[in-house]
Amino acid sequence: MPQYIAWFDELSKADVSRVGGKGANLGEMTRAGLPVPPGFVVTTEGFLAALSDAGVRDELRAAFVSADPDDPAALAAASLRMRELVERAGVPSEVRTALAGAYARLGADAAVAVRSSATSEDTGATSFAGMHETFTNVVGEHALIRRVIDCWKSAYGQRVIAYRRAEGMTEEPTIAVVVQKMIASARSGVMFTADPATGERGTIVVEAAFGLGEVVVGGQVEVDTYVLAKDGPKMRSARVGHKAFKIVRGADGNDEKVPLSTGEADRRVLSDAEAEALATMGLRVEAHYGTPQDIEWGEVDGVFSLLQTRPITTLAGASADAAPASDSGALITGLGASPGVGSGAVRVLRTPGDGAKLQRGEVLVAPMTSPDWVPTMRRAAAIVTDSGGMTCHAAIVSRELRIPCIVGAREATRVLRDGELVTVDGRRGQVTEGLVPAAPPRVEAIAPRPVAATEALATRLYVNLAMAEHAETAAALPVDGVGLLRAEFMILDALGGQHPRELVARGGGREFVAKMRTQLLRITRAFMPRPVVYRSYDFRTNEFRGLAGGEKHEPQEENPMIGYRGCFRYIKDPALFDLELETLARVREETPNLHLMIPFVRTKWELERCLERIARSPLAGDRTLLRWVMAEVPSVAYWLPDYAKLGIDGVSIGSNDLTQLMLGVDRDSATCAELFDESDPAVVDAISRIIAGARATGMTSSLCGQAPSNHPAFAETLVRLGISSISVNVDAVDAARRTIAAAEKRMLLDAARSALQPRS
């Protein structure tokens, strides 16, 4: 006889096929004696009975098998049709009767959470994180039945279909539904029984906030982070976040957002003893499953409950430069912009249109590069340009591609000759004659490294990224996420060197969204659940004009660095920005760790207009989307309080542009390169004002310029100023971690010495 209802204490991991991963895990924890709020599961037998009784099961199976995840329009239509079939099927009378009886056992009109539990969900290989529906504070039999149908329908959502195909799962979807008694958590959070960023298994990481857990899993506030050694368990470090608000269950049963005073917001959520007690529970869960776990928890009246567990699916498992070139016999010198040594035959190119002439492994020599050079640059063993500074396009792209690069070499295109064999030392800024015999081949991406124990930091460490092809290897580094994901290079990859407005004019908006979505998902999936902050496009007119069709859409400017760029572009010509917003919305359906950062914001009214566009986009109403602004224009220090009132969550200091505007130095100028100094006292003063202003207004602060990657002392200055996070290039992660850790230790020692000083 079919069993449509199964209680938690009846279930184990052997029941995944009929209650799904979530239901089986709740059963395992309940039977292990762990504190789990009571509940039951509407089994897959109930779901399949509904489809069979309505006569739609075969039609659904055929529609699922034929759905094309690479055709967005067809996928949307197929998903809608399948969801309509499930809606039409409804809940059969025998399933409805069993469901009503089980609900009554939880209490008259009990408030329950209703969660989808797919049979492939929350397993060691696939998590389906956030893809199926979940509902909280469901009260009453009629509302419960409605939400069960909604969970069933979510098995045929667009993102679920696409994810199943990406994971090679072609079998008929089946889904169960968990019904669990709600607890009105006063405190809540997530606990990882291994460090999800580094894979270090001797560590437990607990994230905590006040109120319901939505603010934690959705990244809506700066949570407390407690790092504990499993041996004990014993507290290693506690970082107290600024929790600007909490979400509580209101008298009407709906969630309410409650602002917290500064004193409350900066108060610790957990004491050392409480965090250690929670970690002890985590160790019991891990011991039961035999593998590191990602656990959601809540607390009511001093009692901790475990709400959900799943295996951590993101646990991870640089090449050294060749010997430096000799000082003698340099053919040309310039600024070392990207470290490494590369050898090959010279290929002098004047325009990106000549890119096809460059053979893989040759040394590209050009007057300067712009975004349309990227496909050519990928094939180069090394790059040398006549002009440019440390933050020019050639330098940034070369560091991203891990290609040795020299910029500002002035006469490289005149002195170096096609076919000449040379060696480029990107650290020392020298081009020498001949090949270095021991020079290894250029590494295309960061080589994965064995996971080692990594010291926890109070200051978050993020990585800068620009290309999807490096996502997996960058995600294996000990970082907390992506602090700067540059849109420009991905757009160029998606459009193949064509100007975006030209594509839009030809009706290619759907093509843009589809291609960008594919690239972004590769990055966000690799970093889940760590945040990925996407900086919307910030092309300058001189860069845009070089793209195919660019001359029709770009004005000619004498000073493009301070011209038509950033936020102002989105207001004057919003077509591309609107497509970006649509892309972000589609990606967040599957991976909600993606957030938005708006560049080069000069004034309050610009930002207001830009936020209005977001409010009219598919992202409207997305409560978990974080909205950041770049702090590149000095005016941001004045406007920060107003930006906070507009709902901006964080500010990221772009030290390259900020230095340029503070000191009046064109960052692309080779002639003035010696004047460009991010550690100049005037620049540091501006940065300190921005960090202080962000903290005063409840925003997080970060810095994503080149300086922390090149100058350890600058990174220490940022830590001492109280910055929330630092984002560095991939090749600077290890050095940055060491510098930040040393700075934090020195600050603790300074504070201890100060406390021990006798008072007069």
Cite the active site residues: 393, 704
CA distance 489 to 373: 10
DSSP string for 685-705: HHHHHHHHHHHHTT-EEEE-S
Q: Are 25 and 310 in contact (CB under 8 A)?
A: yes
CA distance 756 to 71: 67
Q: Are 368 and 391 in contact (CB under 8 A)?
A: no
Q: Are 675 and 624 in contact (CB under 8 A)?
A: no
605 closest CA partner among 637, 576, 643: 643
Dihedral sign from CA coordinates of 374, 380, 383, 385: negative
- For residues 686, 691, 697, 699, the Cα torsion angle rounded to the nearest 10 degrees is 130
DSSP string for 148-211: HHHHHHGGG-HHHHHHHHHTT--SPP-EEEEEEE----SEEEEEESS-TTT--TTEEEEEEEEB
* φ and ψ of 343, to 5 deg: -125, 150
Angstrom CA distances, 142 to 104, 148, 175, 664, stand at 12, 10, 20, 66
236 closest CA partner among 460, 451, 458: 458
284 closest CA partner among 197, 179, 204, 186: 204
Strand-pairing partners, residue 138, are 112
Angstrom CA distances, 64 to 68, 165, 167, 422, stand at 9, 10, 15, 57
Strand-pairing partners, residue 257, are 247
Strands 245-249 and 421-425: unpaired
CA distance 534 to 543: 20
Q: Are 534 and 485 in contact (CB under 8 A)?
A: yes
308 closest CA partner among 11, 5, 27, 17: 27
222 closest CA partner among 699, 737, 702, 740: 699
Strand-pairing partners, residue 462, are 727
Asked if omega into 478 is within 30° of 0 (cis), the reply is no
Name the 3-class secondary structure at 217. Answer: helix
Angstrom CA distances, 107 to 43, 140, 182, stand at 21, 10, 12
Query: How many residues are recorded in the chain?
Result: 760
Angstrom CA distances, 68 to 71, 80, 511, stand at 6, 13, 15
Give Rg (Cα) of the chain: 28
Q: Which residues contact 603 (CB under 8 A, 6 or more apart)?
A: 635, 639
Q: Are 317 and 398 in contact (CB under 8 A)?
A: no
